Amino acid sequence: MSSPRIAVGVDIGGTKVLGALVDETGAVLREHRVLSPGPWPDMRDAIVGVINELRTGVPELHAVGVGAAGMVDLDGVIHYAPNVPGFRRVPVRASLAEATGLPTTVDNDANTAAYAEIRVGAARGVRDAIVITLGTGIGGGVILGGRVLRGANGFAAEVGHFQIDPVGPMCACGELGHWEAMASGNALGRMAREAAAAGEAPSLLERAHGKVDVIDGHHVSAAAHAGAADALALVDHYAFNVAIGLVGLANIFDPSLIAIAGGLVNDGDLFLEPMRRHFLGHIEGAQYRPTPEIIPAEMGERAGVIGAALLALDRANDAAAPL
Q: Closer to Zn ion by CB, 183 or 204: give it.
A: 183
Residue 155 C-beta: closest distance to Zn ion, Å: 13
Residue 71 C-beta: closest distance to Zn ion, Å: 13
Residue 47 C-beta: closest distance to Zn ion, Å: 28
Torsion of the alpha carbons at 192, 195, 196 and 198, rounded to the nearest 10: 160
Residue 195 C-beta: closest distance to Zn ion, Å: 23
> Given the DSSP bridges, would you call strands 138-144 and 257-261 parallel, antiparallel or unpaired?
unpaired
Q: Closer to Zn ion by CB, 161 or 225: give it.
A: 161
The SS3 call for residue 218 is helix
Tell whether residue 70 is a contact of Zn ion (CB under 5 A): no
How many chain residues touch Zn ion (CB under 5 A)? 5
Residue 28 C-beta: closest distance to Zn ion, Å: 33
Peptide bond into 41 cis (omega under 30): yes
Q: Closer to Zn ion by CB, 139 or 292: give it.
A: 139
Please state, in angstroms and rounded to a whole number, the distance separating the CA atoms of residues 240 and 233: 11
Residue type, 235: V
Cβ-contact 148, 142 below 8 angstroms: yes
Task: Report 246-285 residues binding Zn ion (CB under 5 A).
Answer: none
Tell whether residue 173 is a contact of Zn ion (CB under 5 A): yes
289 DSSP 8-state letter: S
Query: In the 3-class helix/strand/coil scheme, how is 24-36 assigned residue by residue?
Result: CCCCEEEEEEEEC
Please state, in angstroms and rounded to a whole number, the distance separating the CA atoms of residues 61 and 55: 7
Q: Closer to Zn ion by CB, 163 or 256: give it.
A: 163
Binding Zn ion (rule: CB under 5 A), the pick from 5, 62, 93, 178 is 178
Cβ-contact 130, 253 below 8 angstroms: yes
Cβ-contact 176, 165 below 8 angstroms: yes
Q: Which stretch binds Zn ion (CB under 5 A): 34-42, 95-103, 141-149, 170-178?
A: 170-178
Binding Zn ion (rule: CB under 5 A), the pick from 116, 123, 171, 250 is 171
Task: Identify the CA nearest to 14 among candidates 135, 148, 151.
Answer: 135
Binding mask 122-161 for Zn ion (x = CB under 5 A): ---------------------------------------x
Q: Which residues form the interface with Zn ion (CB under 5 A)?
A: 161, 171, 173, 175, 178
